[in-house]
């Protein structure tokens, strides 16, 4: 048996470099978690600031004594983390789509060799 320790020759018929796609996929995964973490931490800090201001009576001085007035002051805080969640799922979908397309390309190349 003749075993070769040489590195396997690169297939130049591929449209993309496999290592680059894997690296981009890993970066997209990591960036998705970083973006989500930043948005959630920002949201939590804003929420804590709102509750501290509310408990100290800052909003009552402005005439915010009713339930609807308080909810209208609080409702933007419910929407604040949504862009981060959408960015997270978008980056995760992009990462998984790159891996799926890489698998499709690899399976197509194997099927063509048979």
pLDDT the model gives residue 69: 74
Long-range contacts of 87-95 (CB under 8 A, 24+ apart): 87/32, 87/35, 87/36, 87/39, 88/32, 88/33, 88/35, 88/36, 91/28, 91/29, 91/31, 91/32, 91/35, 92/28, 92/29, 92/32, 94/28, 95/24, 95/25, 95/26, 95/28, 95/29, 95/32
Tell me what the mean pLDDT of segment 10-20 comes to: 71
What pLDDT, in 10s, does the model give residues 46-98? 999 988 888 887 766 555 567 777 777 778 888 889 999 999 999 999 999 99
Q: What angle do CA 13, 19, 20 make, to 5 degrees?
A: 90
What pLDDT, in 10s, does the model give residues 18-56? 888 899 999 999 999 999 999 999 999 999 998 888 888
How many angstroms separate the CA atoms of 60 and 10, rounded?
70
Break the chain into its structural domains and give their ranges. 18-109
* Averaged pLDDT of the chain: 83
pTM of the entire structure? 0.72
pLDDT the model gives residue 28: 95
Query: Looking at per-residue confidence, does 62 or 108 come out higher?
Result: 108
């Amino acid at each position: 048996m003749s075993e070769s320790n040489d590195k396997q020759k690169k297939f130049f018929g591929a449209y993309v470099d496999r290592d680059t796609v894997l690296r981009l996929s890993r970066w997209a995964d990591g960036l998705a978690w970083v973006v989500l973490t930043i948005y959630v931490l920002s949201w939590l800090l804003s929420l804590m600031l709102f509750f501290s201001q509310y408990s100290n009576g800052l909003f009552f001085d402005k005439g915010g004594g009713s339930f609807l007035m308080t909810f209208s002051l609080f409702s933007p805080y419910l929407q604040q983390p949504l862009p981060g969640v959408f960015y997270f799922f978008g980056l995760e979908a992009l990462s998984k789509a790159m891996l799926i397309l890489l698998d499709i390309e690899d399976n197509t190349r194997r099927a063509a060799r048979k």
